[in-house]
Amino acid sequence: MPTEQIGPDQAVTKEQFHSILRKWLTETDDTLVGPTTVRGRTPWIHVRDGSRLFFLNADTGRVAVMGYLELVDLHGEDLDWEIVPSQSGRLTAVAYGPERVRHTPFYLYFHSN
């Protein structure tokens, strides 16, 4: 079963986000965090980090989530998220941790609006 969709008005904290992802990994065999019936780039889980709002797309896969959570395990629940240019040059992509690692199959983006 995919994760529940969480809109911007109900945005979760990083710790809640990590808990949601861990629960999804352990309790399902789904390949994507969102349902396959929605467009892949659909914002699925919104996360608030201070005054900044981020979203994880529905087409984020299981392997990508595992890789991201490995970074969390390595650097802690308050893993630093740095907003960096996307492939199109917009400041919407996210790099993680002290080394500013881009984990490109993990489709988390800064909500720039």
What is the per-residue pLDDT across 42-94, written as a single tens digit (0 to 9) for each? 999 999 999 999 999 999 999 999 999 999 999 999 999 999 999 899 999 99
Residues 6+ apart with CB under 8 A from 17: 45, 47, 56
Domain membership of residue 80 (yes or no) is: yes
Whole-number pLDDT of residue 40: 84
Q: Is 100 left (phi over 0), alpha (psi -120 to 50) or beta?
A: left
Domain membership of residue 3 (yes or no) is: no
Q: Smallest Cα–Cα separation from 83: which of 107, 110, 111, 105?
A: 110
Quote the domain boundaries for residue 104.
Answer: 8-110
Domain membership of residue 37 (yes or no) is: yes
Task: Write down the pTM of the prediction.
Answer: 0.95
Examine the pLDDT at 9 and tell me if it is beyond 80.
yes
How many domains, the chain? 1
